[in-house]
Structure 1
Amino acid sequence: MQTQDTSQAGPGPRYRTVAVIGAGAMGKGIAQIAAQAGSVVRFFDAHGPALERALPEIGSQWDRMVEKGRLDAAAGAACKQRLVAAAGLRDLADCELVVEAIVENLDAKKSLFAELESIVAPGAVLATNTSSLSVTAIGAGLKEPRRLAGYHFFNPVPLMKVVEVIAGLQTDPAVCEGLAAYARQMGHTPVRAADTPGFIVNHAGRGYNTEALRIVAEGVADFATIDRILKDQVGFRLGPFELMDLTGLDVSHPVMESIYRQYYDEPRYRPSALAAQRAAGGVVGRKAGEGFYRYIDGKAQVPAEPPVPQVEELPPVWVSTRAARRAELFQLLKALGAKVETGQSPSMNALTLVAPLGFDVTTVAVVDRHDPARTIGIDMLVEDAATKRRVLATNPATRTDMRDAAHALFARDGKAVSVIRDSAGFVTQRVVATIVNIASDMCQQGVCSPADLETAVTLGLGYPLGPLAMGNRWGPDNMLEVLFNMQTVYGDPRYRPSPWLRRRGAIGLSLLHEEA
């Protein structure tokens, strides 16, 4: 196969004539940005009415951009001239690039590309916008699978400024170089991914939702509490249940199942029966009026937080000798005006405070021989000054008066407090560690480079930090401790640490570090 030099994009568009097949949301977005990049775009959909609706919708987008001053009038008019409806596949014969954005069905995509291969020129590049299917499988029946690559955009395409460029097993590297160069011309950031289930973004995003669902399924906390904790402690813009309601479980749950099955039931990606039930029942999110939250006029009905208990007299507090951030915890208790005991063991009236990494409160109370009725856990993974919320955990034996006293004490300065039931790793520890572990294993597998993983996740998922930077922020050694201890508590291989994380955590290396 002959391909053009792709080392430099040149003054004009990398592909002068581009075909986009599929007039759904993704196809419309790709056609819009390709025309804005200066390419003539031949737009086709086998369902004629869909194409008829799509053309004026794209034109309206350019009109709005002109009105807002983001595009001048002449440029808007030129974009409209470059967008041309195609009557059939034969009209695409002169296209240098064909981007497919049809239904997510392997047979349909294979059939389309087999037909296209006999129509377009031998040097034309074929690209699939698949989000979950194997690029290698799509190209397996082609005479020239070397010219097919994945080109996965995100919805809405004009606003989501990242695109995954995926090489199948037989893809010519020059094809991916050309697609990456063209992505930059369209104003997007290309990231390179191996042909693996979920590619980068859908793969890396598994931990956030699936671990939150497991926490709910264990009865640890409700949807709103988990959302509040992860927004206030980590800085996520949307909690996992808000996010799933926005996306819709009819979209997100099949992706969870697909990635899990494609990895032959790898425990790290195990989906949730809770989500499957809701998806089957049509309780899929905002568009249905009900998901994890109910919606009235499009607004989530979020239950109010429990009030801070009124406690007449607070008991003295004794801090476990093995508490994480113990010195910082002492300083916090002093600032809150607590009566702190400093003996080798707590008095009979003291509230016993533990701060484990990865273990649950019950395990610590048993191992350290604390009275479980007076033992409360506090999550100290995130520095207190950096968090908007403190999280406490009871154990099954914790007395109500001790629970209320701890809540009242830690809310004394006005900072929000959530009290959850016992959980190995609380909420933040287990969700963050799961995200970091999956990302680490993606690097171990060679799915992508650490740098591309960070870029893809921050742009594609809007995380406050990339997963590897998140692990560095709270310590690879802490992530390891959380995972090892969670695996001990649950006995679940889901939490086994990736070799990438284990080795870098053991020798104090950044998770972004690549071997020479």
Structure 2
Amino acid sequence: MDSDVTEAGQQPTHRRSEDDEGIFATVAVIGAGAMGSGIAQVAAGAGHRVVLADPVIGVAADARERISSSLDRLVGKGRLSRADADATLGRLVASESIHTLPECGLVIEAVPEDLRIKRLLFADLSERQPANTVLATNTSSIDIDAIARDVIDPERVLGLHFFNPPPVMELVEVVHGELTSPAYVEHVTALMRAWGKTPVRCASTPGFIVNRVARPFYGEAQRLVEAGVADPATVDWVLRERGGFPMGPFELTDFIGQDVNLAVGTSVWEQTDRDERYAPTDFQRRLVEAGTLGRKTGSGVYTYAADGTVEGAEPDLALAERLVGGPVATDPLARTLAMLVNEAVDLVHRGEASAEDVDIAMRLGVRYPRGPIEWGREIGFDVVAAQIAELDAAFPGGRYRPSPALSDGSLA
């Protein structure tokens, strides 16, 4: 995912079912960075024996120490008992080798987003692990079948896209490729529920659910500012105060990191054969080229004081009130919602996820106040279709082409 939450919270204490005991008794996590260590903590907390492995000497051991400290904090806050914390850590083993794993029911890869690295790793795992070991990748956007290309028994390869930080975030995208066995998808979906997560299922489409459907939230705001319609603070105010989003698109991309957000958007764009609907903006490219990446560099769209507060970014409230309710091309809220709904219904129309799972994913993954399908029903799909047609006429070129599902009645 390209949005982060930074504070660890309640550690789940769900226990394995008998089925988990037989099939997924031992779980390995490869990659001991923030995501991998968080996933390992969740698995160990759910009652599994967990091997956390990293090829760099000392990284897995350091990650285990961080997990220990995280568990101690939860105990101190009264969110976890001392006995459960000790039991969780006791089930977790750090390993400096990814080639000497025990036989596992499930291996979850959380290494950097590099297809070559992942492909080599999965090919190696498929030779070393039993034929019924599920091989899962935590990729946020890479095609599952591409990762599984050199795997023995590729039907056992799937995606488990956790959101950051895994001990806190409830959502997990369970992603299947064309070769993935439905039986493995069912088993792993049930396992995620046993871990206290809310799984949603989707096909291996670029960006999966969350990172694909969310693209207009960022892209429309950037285009409005590029066109001189409003300044970033005003657009953020409209989306936050009138739309109910927890953060505006500019403050959110500054929080994520402009480079991270651009990389995810570029990945979706390239995987869709550079579809104009997902084209990155020059606005964001210029920020990244200048090294103004957001909060982590002290400046991005906004400039930040030492305590992290934004300096000198006041919204133009009079302008905001004029724009909201006006023509859709200059209304930040209506334009953004129309594009979010259009993207969501198009994904459902292609059969890549259910309407219910799309709404769940967007509420839990990026904390939207409503799911986009729910929003479409509230606004009226016919109204959204008219708004998209108006945008398409104003900005021809394919970005604003309407989904057939807006007018075929299938989601009414």
Residue 214 of structure 1 corresponds to 223
Q: Do the aligned partners of residues 135 and 158 (structure 1) sit closer, same or farther apart at CA in structure 2, a change above 3 Å counting?
A: same
One-letter identity of the residue aligned with 1:196? T
Q: Is the 8 A contact 2:122 2:151 kept in 1?
A: yes
Deviation readout 1:49-70 (Å, 9 max, x if unpaired): 2222211100111111111222
* 8 A Cα contact 1:126 1:148, kept in partner: yes
Check conservation: 2:54, 2:98, Cα contact below 8 A: no
Distance 1:58 1:436 in 2: 39
Q: CA deviation at 1:25?
A: 0.8
Name the structure 2 match of 1:199.
208
Q: Does 1:259 align with 2:189?
A: no
2-structure distance, mates of 1:390, 1:166: 39
Which residue of 445, 455, 458 maps to 2:363? 458
Separation in 2, partners of 1:425, 1:472? 23
Rounded Cα–Cα distance in structure 2 between residues aligned with 1:113 and 1:221: 47
2:401 counterpart of 1:488? no
Decide whether the 8 Å contact of 1:425 with 1:482 is kept in 2: no
Bigger CA drift: 236-245 or 423-432? 423-432
Q: Deviations over 1:228-256 (max 9, x none)?
A: 01111111110000110000011010111
* Deviation (angstroms), 1:462: 0.4
The question of 1:431 aligning with 2:305 is answered no
Aligned-pair identity (%):
41
Deviations 1:339-377 (A, max 9, x none): xxxxxxxxxxxxxxxxxxxxxxxxxxxxxxxxxxxxxxx
> Does the 8 Å CA contact 2:135/2:158 hold for their aligned counterparts?
yes
Aligned to 1:181: 190
Match of 2:199, as an amino acid?
P
Question: What is the aligned partner in structure 1 of residue 149 from structure 2?
Answer: 140
Task: Please list, as runs of the form range in 1=range in 2, the aligned pairs for 1:101-500 lying within 5 A after superposition.
Answer: 101-297=110-306, 298-306=308-316, 391-393=321-323, 424-500=329-405
Q: Look up the equivalent residue of 1:170 and give its one-letter code.
A: L
The offset of 1:101, in angstroms, is: 0.4
Q: Which of 35, 52, 70 lines up with 2:79 in the alignment? A: 70
After superposition, the C-alpha distances for 1:256-284 in whole angstroms (9 at most, x for unaligned) are: 11111111121221210110111111111
Secondary structure (helix, strand or coil) at the match of 1:391 reads: helix
The separation in 2 between residues aligned to 1:58 and 1:74, in whole angstroms, is 15
Map Cα deviations across residues 288-318 of structure 1 (whole Å, 9 max, x no partner). 100111000211124234587xxxxxxxxxx
Distance across 2 between alignment mates of 1:81 and 1:180? 26
Q: Is the 8 A contact 1:93 1:121 kept in 2?
A: no
Q: Secondary structure at the match of 1:196?
A: coil
- Supply the AA of the counterpart residue of 2:37: K
Which residue matches 2:5? none
Instruction: For structure 1, list consecutive stretches of 5 or more residues without a partner in the other structure.
Output: 1-7, 309-388, 394-417
Higher RCO structure (Cα 8 Å, ≥6 apart): 2
Number of matched pairs = 395
Identify the residue that residue 402 of structure 1 maps to in structure 2.
Answer: none
State how far apart, in whole Å, the 1-side matches of 2:211 and 2:395 are: 26
Structure 1 residues 447 and 307 mapped into 2: Cα distance closer, same or farther (>3 Å)? closer
Letter aligned with residue 209 of structure 1: Y
Partner of 2:88 in structure 1?
Answer: 79
Aligned AA for 2:342?
A: N
Q: 1:165–1:305: structure 2 CA closer, same or farther, 3 Å change rule?
A: closer
Distance 2:189 2:312 in 1: 42
Separation of aligned partners in 2, 1:97 and 1:161: 20
Deviation per CA, 1:209-240, whole angstroms, max 9, x where unpaired? 01111111111000000000111111111000
Alpha-carbon separation, structure 2, partners of 1:158 and 1:190: 14
Q: What TM-score comes out, normalization by structure 2 length? A: 0.92
- The residue type equivalent to 2:230 in the other structure is A
Whole-angstrom CA distance in 2 between matches of 1:419 and 1:478? 13
Match among 57, 66, 81 for residue 66 of structure 2: 57
1:132-173 Cα offsets, whole Å, 9 max, x none, are: 111000001112101111111111111111111111111111
Q: Over residues 432-459 of structure 1, what are the superposed CA-to-partner deviations in whole Å (9 max), with x where a residue is unaligned?
A: 1011101111011111000010111100
C-alpha distance after superposition, 1:98-119 (max 9, x if no partner): 1000011111011111111121
> 1:224 touches 1:302 (CA, 8 Å); kept in 2?
no
One-letter code of the match for 1:22? G
RMSD: 2.0
Alpha-carbon distance in structure 2 between the residues aligned to 1:223 and 1:145: 46
* 8 Å contact from structure 1 (residues 440, 498) kept in 2: yes
Deviations along 1:190-221, whole A, 9 cap, x unmatched?
11010111011101111100111111111100
Secondary structure of 2:321's counterpart equals strand
Counterpart Cα distance in 2 of 1:202 and 1:307: 30
Contact 1:93-1:119 at 8 Å conserved across structures: no
Call closer, same or farther: CA 1:424–1:105 in 2, change over 3 Å: same
* Per-residue deviation, residues 373-426 of structure 1 (Å, max 9, x unmatched): xxxxxxxxxxxxxxxx96214xxxxxxxxxxxxxxxxxxxxxxxx899x87242
Amino acid at match of 2:90: Q
Paired with 1:257 and 1:71, the residues of 2 have a C-alpha distance of: 40
Distance in 2 (CA, whole Å) between partners of 1:437 and 1:267 is 14
1:45 maps to 2:54: yes
My pick for the range that moved more, 31-40 or 267-276, is 267-276
- Residue by residue over 1:73-112, the C-alpha shift from the partner in whole angstroms, topping out at 9 and shown as x without a partner, is 1111111110001242343132111100001111101111
TM-score (norm 1): 0.74
